[in-house]
Structure 1
Amino acid sequence: MGVLVYGGHQVIEFEDRLLAHLQIVAGLKLRRREGFYLTWREDTNAGSGRVTIWVDPALPLMFRYEEGAALSINREWLESLTLASNSARGLVVTEETAHLTTESAEAF
């Protein structure tokens, strides 16, 4: 389980593979100085609610991975997440299973 450290103090846990995809999407947006919403569902231990944060170029982000090895990136999933980040609703975390293909992976 990796973590996204938001604003220098808020720690948010995500699976390493998802975190790698979120890092790429966030990097694309923030490089263009664009803020966006990031939304995910909490797991049952945290009440099963929905959380949304505003990600802004002025706020520090740190991506910390549990795994040291390079992760493969699913291009279809990455494209879907990127398209969502450009919408009014923002980047909503979705499951990778809807975007799995064998030829879409590259190392990150």
Structure 2
Amino acid sequence: MGTLTYDSKLQVSFDDRVLAHLQAVIWSKLRRGEHFAFTWTEASRGAFGRTSIWLSPGIPVAFEYFGSRAPRLNPAWIQVLTKSANSAAGLTILPEPPDPGVRTS
């Protein structure tokens, strides 16, 4: 499990694979000077909670990974997450679609 740290105060754990894809989308938008919402759900004490933050180029965001190897990025998933980030609702974690670069047969 990796960690996303927002504004040096909020730390949230995500699977390294999910975090790598979030990093690609978040950095892409922040590089362009874009502001956007990011919402996720997480299990906490047996109940599911929802958290939203406003991401802005002026607020520090850090990504720390548990594993030493970077996961292979799925361009189809980055595209789906980017579309989500560009929506009025903002970035949400959506299921990973099949990777067009990986053969399954």
- Compute the TM-score of the two structures, normalised by the length of structure 2: 0.90
Gaps of 5+ in 1: none
Which stretches of structure 1, 4 residues or more, deviate above 3 A after TM superposition? none
Q: Which has the higher helix share?
A: 1
1:56, 1:28 → 2: CA distance? 12
2:47, 2:26 → 1: CA distance? 26
Gaps of 5+ in 2: none
> Counterpart of 1:22?
22
1:84, 1:22 → 2: CA distance? 11
Structure 1 residues 25-73: Cα deviation after superposition (integer angstroms, max 9, x where no partner)? 0111000111111111111536302111111111100000000112101
Say how many residue pairs are matched.
Answer: 102
1:71, 1:101 → 2: CA distance? 13
Alpha-carbon distance, 1:102 to partner:
5.3
Q: In percent, how many aligned pairs have the same letter?
A: 40
What is the alpha-carbon root mean square deviation over aligned residues? Answer: 1.4
Tell me if 1:101 matches 2:99: yes
